[in-house]
Amino acid sequence: MRRNILITGASSGLGRGMAIEFARKGHNLALCARRKEHLDSLRNECLSINRSLKVRVQTLDVNDHDAVFDVFHGFAKELGKLDRIIVNAGMGKGASIGTGHFKANKETATTNFVSALAQCEAAMEIFREQNHGHLVTVSSVSGIRGFRRALTVYAATKAALSSLSEGIRVDVMNTPIKVTTVHPGFIRSAINEKVKNVPFIVDTETGCKALVKAINKEPANAYVPVWPWAFVRYFLRVAPLSVLSRMS
């Protein structure tokens, strides 16, 4: 059992939902995000599920890359080890390229890829030292292809994260270190709460139950919820651009 689990971006959305599901399954938790009051509330909720759990919280802005290393190593020391680290923190700001929104696009690119790299580096340092562990990266079905408008940079960062994760997976093949990339479809969360008329969308709790179930199987890649995204991904790979233009 992966007893001690670290989750970034845990104060809301998928991170919060996964923390609650893992608490229900008896895992100790190391939770980090920017908003302390939300972390404290989540800690209390997890402990109300199971008072015997160890639940540690620490504020962290993943764009402070030095802090990422400090917080991860601090959690590992406090809990004795980290069995699984879920690189979940991300954002979805942005607009069509060349429309005057470089700052927003850059923020998304930095948070979703450069800061994810920092988290992977810190996680793998710990796992290599322990000689075991499970790295989980939260990509997206949107990373399969390029998309327009607000999704252009977001999809590109998720494609890059998927590629990074696969490279790490190749690097630690045949070792006790496992790497899983989860590709959520449309799950209602803070990142998309204002988006209407989304096909196949599920609520946060349903989506997070599917995420945790997939993560615990430790596959190389998982598309969740399985229906319809495990099948839609094949369509997305071959869909003509005219179809993609109507999907974003």
The residues annotated as belonging to the active site are 154
Alpha-carbon gap, residue 193 to 114, rounded angstroms = 25
DSSP 3-state percent helix, strand, coil across the chain (nearest 5)? 50, 15, 35
Q: What is the DSSP letter of 109?
A: H
Q: Report the half-sphere exposure of 22 (CA within 13 A, side-chain side).
A: 33
Question: Which tokens sit at 66?
Answer: 């030095």
Separate counts of helices (H) and strands (E) for the chain: 9, 7
Sequence-separated contacts (24+) of 233-239 with Cβ below 8 Å:
233/141, 233/144, 233/183, 236/141, 236/144, 236/145, 237/144, 237/145, 239/145
For 225, the 3-state DSSP assignment is coil
Alpha-carbon gap, residue 97 to 246, rounded angstroms = 18
